[in-house]
């Protein structure tokens, strides 16, 4: 953390410059969407002047208050979590990118007052998790797993492991979309933000479960889920090459490393919980969660790749295919692994 005599790096200017650029972008975008700006710079003299003033006001502001603000931020963050997780510069840069511009409040004093309300402790943890810091991910699980479990309210469908795995995938795994943890900006408590995200996931898992067939036998019941307007991806596959899709999925699982297939088998067929698997491998539950998430992403990636080569699908069609795989991945893996257990 910086000191007032300048002997250590000070990052107030880093924060100020990132936010001023974001404020400029936000104001110009707002004017453009509202019809106040066109794409032709010659049409935007007044709007450009107003937007540029935001940048000038922040950039010209005395860096002293910004340095003091950053010092307070770092003190709070490092009191809550280890300072070794992220460098000070990286944290301030990540935080500024997440907070972005505030077109409705442009005064320097307003900015500083607003930034003092940021839940810095939670933002630091989120930034560390987004960077894949193992210790941060373990701390995240230890801090919020109980809150996720409470969402179930005693219900058994989905299970806690299913819900936790899905939350982990959405928050931390880079797939077709940016991991959701990058959306957290510290404007509210991470606990409250996470509850909103997890509740949506819980509702989605519950709806999926209600559409599942009761039979999981060799008749491949998973592939015969109801079709219609609510299942465009499934209808598309039935119209094209259902057999190719099934073969691509089975090949993707078969191409996994033996240790990866064993991990999947233990979880989906042997029904070992994350805690049981963590004990078996002498690692933390979060480590098992991450390993499963990575393997799942490999399967989805390989199916997409194989089906694209076979069918020549467009990007939109590939995305629909990925959505189908994700929505039925657990049952799909169970079916395939039961047929070909690891040796």
Q: What is the predicted pLDDT for the residue at 211?
A: 60
pLDDT at 273: 83
pLDDT digits (tens), the chain, 343 positions: 444 344 345 777 778 777 777 665 555 555 555 555 444 444 444 444 454 555 555 555 566 788 888 999 999 999 999 999 999 999 999 999 898 765 555 577 878 888 999 999 999 999 999 998 989 998 998 899 888 888 887 776 778 888 888 898 889 886 657 889 999 999 999 999 999 999 988 888 887 766 655 444 444 444 444 344 455 555 655 555 667 777 788 888 888 888 888 888 888 888 888 888 888 888 888 888 888 888 888 888 888 787 766 666 666 666 666 666 666 677 778 888 887 776 6
pLDDT for res 230 = 54
Distance, CA of 196 to CA of 59 (rounded, Å)? 36
* pLDDT for 24: 59
Tokens matching residue 31 = 């004017």
Q: Give residues with Cβ within 8 angstroms of 34, minimum separation 6.
A: none
Rounded CA gap, 173 and 164, in Å? Answer: 13
Contact call for residues 188 and 123 (beta carbons, < 8 A)? no
For 63, the 3-state DSSP assignment is helix
Please give the torsion angle defined by the CA atoms of residues 179, 184, 189 and 191, in that order, rounded to the nearest 10 degrees. -10
Q: CB under 8 Å to 126, separation ≥6 — which residues?
A: 98, 181, 184, 186, 190
**Is the pTM value of this prediction over 0.75?**
no
Per-residue model confidence as pLDDT tens digits over 274-308: 888 888 888 888 888 888 888 888 888 888 787 76
H-type alpha helices, 81-227: 88-99, 108-115, 120-130, 134-152, 160-172, 190-211
Contact 128, 142 (CB under 8 A): no
Q: What is the pLDDT of residue 218?
A: 40
Residues present in the chain in total: 343
**Per-residue model confidence (pLDDT) at position 302:** 85
Largest CA distance in the chain: 74
Domain ranges, ordered by start, for the chain: 12-118, 129-211, 221-339
Residue 45: how many CA atoms within 13 Å on its side-chain side? 1
- Tokens of residue 200, six digits: 């949506």
């Amino acid at each position: 953390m910086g000191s007032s005599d300048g002997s250590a790096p000070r990052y107030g200017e880093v924060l100020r410059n990132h936010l001023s650029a974001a404020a400029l972008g936000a104001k110009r975008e707002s004017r453009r969407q509202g019809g106040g700006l066109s794409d032709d710079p010659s049409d935007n003299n007044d709007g450009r002047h107003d937007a540029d003033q935001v940048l000038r006001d922040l950039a010209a502001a005395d860096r002293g208050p910004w340095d003091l603000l950053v010092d307070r931020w770092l003190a709070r963050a490092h009191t809550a979590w280890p300072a070794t997780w992220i460098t000070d510069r990286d944290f301030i840069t990540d935080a500024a990118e997440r907070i972005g511009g505030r077109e409705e409040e442009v005064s320097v004093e307003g900015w500083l007052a607003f930034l003092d309300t940021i839940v810095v402790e939670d933002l630091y943890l989120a930034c560390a998790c987004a960077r894949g810091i193992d210790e941060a991910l373990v701390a995240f699980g230890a801090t919020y797993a109980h809150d996720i479990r409470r969402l179930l309210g005693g219900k058994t469908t989905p299970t806690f492991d299913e819900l936790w795995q899905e939350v982990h995938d959405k928050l931390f795994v880079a797939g077709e979309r940016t991991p959701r943890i990058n959306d957290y900006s510290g404007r509210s408590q991470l606990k409250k933000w996470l509850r909103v995200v997890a509740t949506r996931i819980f509702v989605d898992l519950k709806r999926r479960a209600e559409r599942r067939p009761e039979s999981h036998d060799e008749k491949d019941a998973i592939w015969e889920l109801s079709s219609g307007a609510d299942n465009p991806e499934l209808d598309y596959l039935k119209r094209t090459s259902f057999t190719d899709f099934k073969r691509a999925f089975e090949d993707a699982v078969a191409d996994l490393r033996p240790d990866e297939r064993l991990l999947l088998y233990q979880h989906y067929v042997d029904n070992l919980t994350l805690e049981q698997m963590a004990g078996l491998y002498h690692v933390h539950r979060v480590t098992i969660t991450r390993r499963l998430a990575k393997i799942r992403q490999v399967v989805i990636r390989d199916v997409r790749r194989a089906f694209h080569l076979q069918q020549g699908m467009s990007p939109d069609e590939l995305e629909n295919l990925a959505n189908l795989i994700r929505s039925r991945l657990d049952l799909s893996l169970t079916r395939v692994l039961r047929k070909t257990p690891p040796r």
